[in-house]
Amino acid sequence: MKKYFFISLSFLIIASCGSTSGNRVLLAESELSVDSKIIEGVTTQSEIKAMFGSPFETTFTDGGMEIWKYRFDNLDADAVNYIPIVNMFTQSYSGDRKELVILFNDNGTVKRSSMAESDVTTKAGLFN
């Protein structure tokens, strides 16, 4: 009985070691789907906010145009996290990142947008 308990507990711990952060709306999006939703010169800031919510980051160009950034990270724990003692000094997570950047015209419509998907690794601890 104890054996089955520890096996079940191990699977529960391993299954719960994934990590997501950022705007969950981007999880279902791809470069093609975003390109079909955002039309340069037509789509407005309010429409973008309705589609994707509030941005992760807002900045401005030297000319005063607004830039909105959206990000979503979907990460899983790497094997090193399961090595006793070693995991006390280092942790590592790998997965993918989706990032959407939108530049707005002075009139509040989209001037340009770019969606990128990339692999990402995050490390933490004393030895990183």
pLDDT digits (tens, 9 = 90+) for 72-108: 998 888 888 788 887 778 888 888 999 999 999 999 9
pLDDT of 6 strictly over 80: no
CA pair distance 111, 105, nearest whole angstrom: 5
Q: 24 vs 60, which has greater pLDDT?
A: 60
Q: Span 3-8, mean pLDDT?
A: 46
pLDDT of 127 strictly over 50: yes
Q: Where residue 17 falls among pLDDT bands split at 50, 70, 90?
A: low
Write 12-21 long-range contacts (CB < 8 A, 24+): 14/77, 14/82, 17/76, 17/77, 17/81, 18/74, 18/75, 18/76, 18/77, 19/73, 19/75, 19/76, 19/77, 19/93, 19/95, 20/72, 20/73, 20/74, 20/75, 21/72, 21/73, 21/75
Q: 82 vs 59, which has greater pLDDT?
A: 59
